[in-house]
């Protein structure tokens, strides 16, 4: 490829080879990748109020992350699609952590729990408005508020709201291992109570439309 020409349409193997090379070939590939990621993030983050400085930071971190993950690219999609997906995850992780900087676990636990999460799109929990799903959520709300210990309740609400585990651990003064145990105990307690209420895992899963959120549903 001639120096100075932008080539976002390399074959997937070409991207991997060029980014793994050295000298002028690698420099050109990294410049092209930076352009691709910058364009992709601008589209994906439009309307989120992301500053130019933040965007530049996200792009730089994404390029580094993509380079580190080159050996995981399997060619199931276009390389640029795969790379932009990684960059979006990088950006959203930072934005999600920033969202919780000024949120305390105490305030969250005093709030209306799942009722508040239902209208919070950034928590990635979208509630389908039908009678059965509303019933499941009402039971979960009651169990979390009334039948769990204070720590179990706080941990579950924070996890369901999407608060990063680092933020939860810091505010509770827990190590990573202690937080893992607290989360496990909370999920186990909630599952037991939901079963007693006649609600199974499938009903809970159906209450949450975003598939990425189901991994946080405490029924496993």
Does any domain span residue 2?
no
Looking at residue 46, what DSSP letter applies? T
Residue 124: per-residue pLDDT:
30
SS (H, E, C) 95-163: HHHHHCCCCCHHHHHHCCCHHHHCCCHHHCCCCCCCHHHHHHHHHHHHHHHHCCCHHHHHHHHHHHHCC
| 119, 208: one domain | yes
Domain membership of residue 91 as a residue range: 12-99
Residue written as token pair 């910058």? 38
**Same-domain pairing of 120 and 80:** no
**Residue 86 sits in the same domain as residue 137:** no
- Ordered mean pLDDT values, 10 residues apiece, the chain (220 residues): 52 87 92 93 84 93 93 81 87 78 62 49 33 68 84 84 85 88 86 75 53 37
- What is the model's pLDDT at position 212? 33
Maximum distance among all Cα pairs of the chain, rounded to whole angstroms: 68
pLDDT score at 6: 55
> 129 to each of 115, 126, 161, 193, how far by Cα in Å?
13, 9, 19, 23
Is 1 inside any structural domain? no
């Amino acid at each position: 490829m001639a120096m100075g020409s932008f080539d976002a349409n390399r074959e997937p193997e070409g991207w991997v080879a060029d980014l793994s090379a050295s000298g002028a070939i690698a420099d050109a590939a990294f410049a092209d990748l930076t352009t691709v990621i910058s364009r992709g993030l601008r589209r994906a983050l439009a309307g989120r109020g992301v500053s130019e400085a933040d965007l530049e930071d996200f792009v730089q971190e994404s390029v580094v992350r993509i380079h580190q993950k080159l050996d995981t690219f399997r060619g199931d999609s276009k390389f640029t699609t795969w790379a932009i997906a990684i960059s979006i995850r990088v950006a959203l992780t930072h934005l999600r952590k920033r969202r919780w900087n000024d949120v305390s676990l105490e305030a969250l636990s005093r709030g209306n729990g799942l009722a508040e999460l239902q209208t919070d799109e950034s928590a990635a929990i979208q509630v389908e408005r039908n009678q059965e799903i509303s019933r499941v959520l009402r039971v979960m709300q009651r169990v979390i508020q009334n039948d769990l210990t204070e720590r179990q309740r706080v941990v579950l609400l924070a996890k369901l709201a999407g608060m990063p585990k680092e933020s939860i651990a810091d505010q509770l003064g827990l190590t990573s291992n202690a937080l893992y145990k607290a989360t496990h105990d909370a999920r186990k307690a909630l599952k037991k109570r939901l079963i007693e209420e006649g609600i199974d895992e499938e009903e809970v899963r159906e209450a949450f439309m975003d598939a990425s959120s189901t991994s946080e549903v405490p029924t496993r």
